[in-house]
Amino acid sequence: MALDHSTTTHKLGRATMQERLFILAVCLIGGGLCSSANSVHLDSKDWPCPPPNDILPCVCFTDADHRLEMDCSAVTDNAELARVFATHFTFTDYDTLFITPATPPAGLTALEYSVFGEVSFRHVNISNTKIRTVEDGVFDRSYLTLETLVLADNEIRSFPFYSIQYFKILRALHLEYNEIRVFDDIWSDSLEVLSLAGNQGLSISSTAFISATELKELYLYDSQIRNIPTNIFRELESVRVIVLGYNDFQGRLKRNFVNPRRSPLERLLLNNNGITGIESDSITGLKLSGQVDFRYNLIEELQQTYWWDLLSQVNGVDVIDLRDNPLVCGCDVFWLVLDRVSMNKIHKETKCISGFRLHDLPESIFNDHCTYPLIQ
């Protein structure tokens, strides 16, 4: 199965807006956060919502299953948001909160402690605002209910990562495209999806994920990351997807760069960096069906010494994507020309810098000019 490149076709520079939103859109669809308009709404004046005038400019909806939703996208400042949730709510267990304005209001700059009063939520989507600070305890009434928290495309600089441990069933945390510089260690027995993509200059500690062993999807793309600590992914025994594209990784990847235990990894994206090669054990922990995307890097040679171990981990076709690299295709690829099983694992449209497809290189030229390689 070939790699899906719907999010990785941009050749240079930061990810485009369409690429940035692709993964978020998938999460929101899965979590029921696409839009409050998707619900089968009754009249917003109907009980069990609060009286409409009491919560303006927010709007409350309920659907045929009696799930309550609150859309506060028209809120203009911190005080107005606090006033709305100081209202008496007959029922306080809400399914979804939206604050997704078309134009970010200048006065909404913080999510303050207990701003939502007694109200709890299962899903929260607060995006495209000028919020800079998220205080500890802002969602304290949702510790036992919150499943999805989306705080994307804001200006968040401060986030209480240590409080994640209190959310007992939180599955997805999206903090992409904010201004977070330091990612503290995270503790969670439930978190499966974490995105910190688009936080420029992001720094990650060596112990960041040790206590988040249920993570299945990790998105760290487009964050100007130059280095990550060795073995940082080692304890992620369930991780299926790691996305590290559009960063600033340069040169040859170091040993134990990506190495989750028990070989759970299905997709690793390293596209659009400055990678020139790998060590033999830079990447381990792939499933047999695993896929790795190296598109738009600076890889010139594919020496058997370095690439054999990676290719031997997988058994699919077109699963190691080396397209759009300046491959020289000299004697370094003779072993691949002779070993068609390994060659077929490399994407069939991979081309040498000369324009020849790697898969089409004739063995006869290598027989005349290269030392016969040792095929393992």
Determine the Cα–Cα distance for residues 291 and 287; give it in Å rounded to an integer.
Answer: 9
**Distance between alpha carbon 200 and the CA centroid of its chain, in Å?**
14
Question: Distance of CA 214 to CAs 142, 190, 218, 237, 254, Å?
Answer: 20, 6, 11, 8, 25
Note the pLDDT tens digit of each residue in 92-116: 999 999 999 999 999 999 999 999 9
Q: What is the pLDDT of residues 111-146, one digit of tens each?
A: 999 999 999 999 999 999 999 999 999 999 999 999
Query: Tokens standing for 255?
Result: 């040993």
- 194-240 pLDDT per residue, tens: 999 999 999 999 999 999 999 999 999 999 999 999 999 999 999 99
Q: Which two tokens stand for residue 190?
A: 């439930």
For residue 364, what are its two tokens? Answer: 């006869």
CATH (one of 3.30.420.10, 3.80.10.10, 3.90.1720.10, 3.40.50.1370) for 17-369? 3.80.10.10
Kindly list the domain boundaries of the chain, sorted by start residue.
Answer: 17-369
**pTM of the prediction?**
0.89
Q: How many Cβ atoms sit within 10 Å of the Cβ of residue 314?
A: 18
DSSP annotation of 285 reads: -
Q: Residue 66 CA to chain centroid, in angstroms? A: 32
DSSP for 119-151, written as a single string: -EEEEEEE-SS---EE-TTTTGGGTTT--EEE-
Using CA atoms, how far apart are residues 347 and 164, in angstroms rounded to an integer? 40
What is the pLDDT at residue 372?
Answer: 83
